């Protein structure tokens, strides 16, 4: 099985990826948070830093692009190839954010199939890079999923990653396994599953139902348990003392590198709060610490809370 790290906007940028790669069982491929080209700039400075090869040493990284304009997609893709040497880009057809969807991007593009067809016609006629796609199974419902799949099938998409929810689901409710099954049964090129893999049990349930599946993308589950890939591969993990120390060193590297680029202690504090929204799931009996982190307003107070967390709480 190949394991991919999903793009998580605002979280899994190059600083996070580099630290994760240093300390934990590594995925086979990382996808960047989406690049959003427009008529003024192909890549913003933050996006350029995120895709710089020197910021992604030793990792296989695929830039993700979000747009509904073929000319913008092609402009960004060719720039990524010529300036940074990338050979694959990923099209985001999955983002459920309301501000994205109302512009007809992300999963909002799935309700405009004629436009999407024209987009693909132009992209695949011209693009000199391999193009993969990450998608949901519809915007308002999944009744168009077979039409969407049929549309995808007419183009040389390198790899299709399916998160079997519609846009309105966001990340709630059960994933639509029957909908994913249609792709599993009919898609003849590489297929990747994404959605709600948080434990070895949920992974085994997935692979029992889809035994020929060869690729899984992990997002929130991997943010919550950075040892998840090791567990899924059946690796023997370090003992709890070493795992806790590794997480502490990971946290220290993030603090140092984010602190070097963010403009204030307050910005750093809120960046680290994002981290613990997920990572606290690795600790037992952590609800009190979660409330303390959420409420704290001073970086010094935050450090005291984190020191107590590592000292007093066990890992799952």
Same domain, 176 and 307: no
The gap between the terminal CA atoms of the chain, to the nearest Å, is 24
Count: domains in the chain = 2
Element (H, E) at 113: helix 113-126
For residue range 73-85, list pLDDT tens digits in order.
999 999 999 999 9
Tokens 């720039």 -> residue: 79
Same domain, 64 and 155: yes
Same domain, 183 and 268: no
Q: What values do phi and psi take at 161, rounded to 5?
A: -105, 125
> What is the torsion angle, in degrees rounded to the nearest 10, for the CA atoms of residue 11, residue 13, residue 18 and residue 22?
20
Same domain, 145 and 89: yes
* β-bridge mates for residue 3, sequence order: 216
For residue range 253-309, list pLDDT tens digits in order.
999 999 999 999 999 999 999 999 999 999 999 999 999 999 999 999 999 999 999
Same domain, 42 and 168: yes
**CA 33 to each of CA 78, 219, 220: distance values in angstroms, whole numbers, following the listed order:** 18, 12, 14
Same domain, 64 and 150: yes
Same domain, 178 and 254: no
**pLDDT-based confidence at 41, cuts 50/70/90?**
confident
**pLDDT-based confidence at 59, cuts 50/70/90?**
very high
Predicted TM-score of the model (pTM): 0.96
Q: Which of 203, 233, 263 marks a domain boundary?
A: 233
The confidence score (pLDDT) of residue 301 equals 97
Same domain, 133 and 203: yes
Q: How far is CA 243 from the centre of its chain?
A: 23
Per-residue pLDDT, averaged over 39-53, amounts to 92
Instruction: State the sign of the Cα–Cα–Cα–Cα dihedral 210, 216, 218, 221.
Output: positive
> What does the alpha-carbon distance between residue 77 and residue 297 come to, in Å, rounded to a whole number?
41
Same domain, 72 and 176: yes
Same domain, 131 and 84: yes
| Three-class HEC string of 271-310 | HHHHHHHHHHHHECCCHHHHHHHHHCCCHHHHHHHHHHHH
Q: Which of 233, 255, 277 marks a domain boundary?
A: 233
**pLDDT-based confidence at 39, cuts 50/70/90?**
confident
Same domain, 244 and 229: no
**pLDDT-based confidence at 129, cuts 50/70/90?**
very high
Q: Which of 199, 233, 267 marks a domain boundary?
A: 233
For residue range 134-169, list pLDDT tens digits in order.
999 999 999 999 999 999 999 999 999 999 999 999
Residue 58: domain span: 2-233
List, edge to edge, every strand of the sheet that includes 130-135: 61-62, 29-31, 2-5, 215-218, 191-194, 160-162, 130-135, 88-93, 64-65
Same domain, 226 and 270: no
For residue range 229-259, list pLDDT tens digits in order.
999 999 999 999 999 999 999 999 999 999 9
**pLDDT-based confidence at 132, cuts 50/70/90?**
very high
């Amino acid at each position: 099985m190949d394991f991919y790290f999903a793009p998580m906007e605002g979280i899994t940028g190059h600083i996070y990826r580099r630290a994760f790669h240093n300390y934990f069982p590594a995925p086979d491929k990382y996808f960047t948070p989406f690049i959003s080209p427009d008529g003024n700039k192909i890549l913003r400075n933050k996006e350029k830093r995120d895709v710089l090869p020197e910021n992604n040493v030793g990792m296989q990284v695929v830039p993700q692009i979000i747009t509904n304009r073929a000319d913008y997609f092609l402009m960004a893709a060719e720039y990524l190839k010529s300036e940074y040497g990338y050979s694959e880009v990923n099209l985001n057809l999955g983002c459920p954010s309301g501000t994205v969807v109302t512009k007809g991007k992300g999963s909002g593009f799935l309700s405009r199939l004629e436009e999407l067809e024209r987009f693909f016609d132009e992209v695949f006629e011209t693009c000199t890079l391999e193009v993969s796609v990450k998608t949901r199974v519809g915007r308002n419902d999944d009744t168009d999923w077979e039409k969407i799949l049929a549309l995808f099938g007419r183009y040389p998409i390198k790899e299709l990653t399916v998160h079997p929810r519609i846009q309105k689901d966001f990340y709630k409710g059960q994933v639509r396994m029957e909908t994913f099954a249609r792709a599993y049964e009919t898609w003849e090129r590489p297929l990747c599953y994404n959605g709600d893999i948080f434990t070895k049990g949920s992974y085994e349930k997935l692979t029992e139902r889809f035994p020929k599946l060869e690729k899984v993308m992990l997002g929130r589950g991997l943010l919550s348990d950075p040892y998840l890939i090791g567990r899924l591969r059946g690796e023997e993990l370090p003992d709890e003392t070493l795992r806790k120390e590794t997480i502490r060193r990971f946290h220290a590297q993030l603090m140092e590198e984010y602190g070097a680029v963010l403009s204030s202690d307050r910005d750093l504090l809120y960046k680290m709060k994002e981290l613990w929204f997920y990572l606290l799931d690795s600790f037992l009996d952590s609800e009190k610490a979660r409330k303390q982190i959420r409420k704290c307003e001073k970086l010094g107070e935050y450090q005291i809370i984190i020191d107590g967390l590592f000292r007093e709480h066990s890992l799952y």
